[in-house]
Amino acid sequence: MDFELNEDQRAIVQAAREFAEGELAPHAARWDAECIFPREAFARAGEMGFCAIYADETIGGLGLPRLDATLVFEEMAAVDPSTTAFLTIHNMATWMVGKWGSQALRDAWGAQLASGAKLASYCLTEPNAGSDAASLRTRARLDGDHYVLDGSKAFISGGGDTQLLVVMARSGGEGPKGISAFAVPADLPGITYGRKEDKMGWNSQSTRQITFENVRVPAAYRLGEEGEGFTIAMRGLDGGRINIGTCSVGAAQGAYDAARRYLTERKQFGRPLADFQALQFKLADMATSIVSARQMVRLAACKLDQGNADAATYCAMAKRFATDAGFQVCLDAQQIHGGYGYLRDYPLERLVRDTRVHQILEGTNEIMRVIIARQLIEKGADLR
């Protein structure tokens, strides 16, 4: 078992780090403070191939494994978890179009999504369907060569700023088998956007409710077969859990780096803070948590790349552990900074705010425990 990155992966890391330092770091605080959706930064990410890292090469994607995607997202999240998190969502939607889209859909949208010329949002959650995604009520009724969509989606990242919506809607009966997936152009008649939500963090990406009223979507824009939508959604969430876990690892690394610098520069009682054993121990625990979370995320990514039968379990474990550990590391780094950690002049308060939601989305960490326990008890999963 080789834990070392190969030469190509090290080059990916370096390219992502340079992009993060050049395109994200100088602007992240302003985007957060002014709630700016950085459209130009996403376009430049597309020029690097970062808008379609694991999407199929036939639509212009890089076709890289999920493991390599974690390397990119971690470097970016170290300076801007919010912007990086939206980029992961766009990557997931682009991958879905490339994998399950018809040729007509791929021809119309694939290259534009892969290049970052156009962006996509993922629409699963509803006002009354969060953790219980299979109970969603948005409906899709076949009418000739179109589906007619009616319903609402909530907490949609990028809503109002993106050009394509990947929507899960009920085309059949109750339960997961009645759900289908659709790629919906965001400017179709009948689509309305709610106000931009006023959030604790993730301020560089808009979050809105979206309502569909008699929205006519070409039947050719259905993803996969009718009734396959819930399976597609869950496949997406496995990767999404790796992605958000990676964003937590990256943010934790950025917070740790800031704390370590602060310990060597700040003096109290005539000595650098780094001389105090209590703070040394805290730094050691932070580093251990980061390494542990990183390895769990990368293991889950490898399981997903290999199509392992237990991949979903590993994705849930990685998401649960990495988001909890990452948030705690950010809190510890803020504590090390004392009062300065509470000021917006330092990145710690932004990293704390941005990583808090990681424990909630892509399935709450309580739901992750349900998934893991079910695999262990009902299916007798052997994780050795």
pLDDT band at 3 (very low <50, low <70, confident <90, very high): confident
pLDDT band at 280 (very low <50, low <70, confident <90, very high): very high
Look at the chain and report how many structural domains it folds into: 3
What average pLDDT does range 303-328 have in this prediction? 96
Residues 234 and 344 in one domain: yes
Residue 53's identity, in one-letter code, is I
Residues 138 and 180 in one domain: yes
Residues serving a catalytic function are 362
| Distance (Å, whole) CA 67 – CA 365 | 22
| Distance (Å, whole) CA 78 – CA 65 | 21
User: Tell me, what CATH number does 269's domain have?
Assistant: 1.20.140.10
Domain with 305 in it: 230-377
Residues 64 and 151 in one domain: no
CB atoms within 10 A of CB 6: 10
Residue 342 has pLDDT above 90, yes or no: yes
pLDDT of res. 94? 98
Q: Does a structural domain hold residue 2?
A: no
Q: Does a structural domain hold residue 310?
A: yes
pLDDT of res. 343? 96
Q: Does a structural domain hold residue 384?
A: no
pLDDT band at 2 (very low <50, low <70, confident <90, very high): confident
pLDDT of res. 382? 74
Residue 1 has pLDDT above 70, yes or no: no
Residues 163 and 205 in one domain: yes
Residues 95 and 147 in one domain: no
**What are the φ/ψ torsions at residue 292 (nearest 5 degrees)?**
-60, -45
* Global confidence as pTM: 0.96
User: Terminus-to-terminus CA distance in the chain, angstroms?
Assistant: 14
- What average pLDDT does the structure give for the chain? 96
| Distance (Å, whole) CA 139 – CA 151 | 6
Please, what's the b/e burial string for 357-372 (b: 16 or more CB within 10 A of its CB; e: otherwise)?
bbbebbbbbebbeebb
Residues 88 and 133 in one domain: no
| Distance (Å, whole) CA 265 – CA 255 | 15
The β-bridge partners of 153 are 210
In terms of Cα–Cα distance, which of 239, 380, 378 is closest to 315?
239
Residue 376 has pLDDT above 70, yes or no: yes
CB–CB of 330/252 below 8 Å? Answer: yes
- When comparing pLDDT for 226 and 380, which is higher? 226
pLDDT band at 124 (very low <50, low <70, confident <90, very high): very high
Q: Does a structural domain hold residue 1?
A: no
| Distance (Å, whole) CA 190 – CA 213 | 5
Residues 244 and 365 in one domain: yes
pLDDT digits (tens, 9 = 90+) for 198-215: 999 999 999 999 999 999
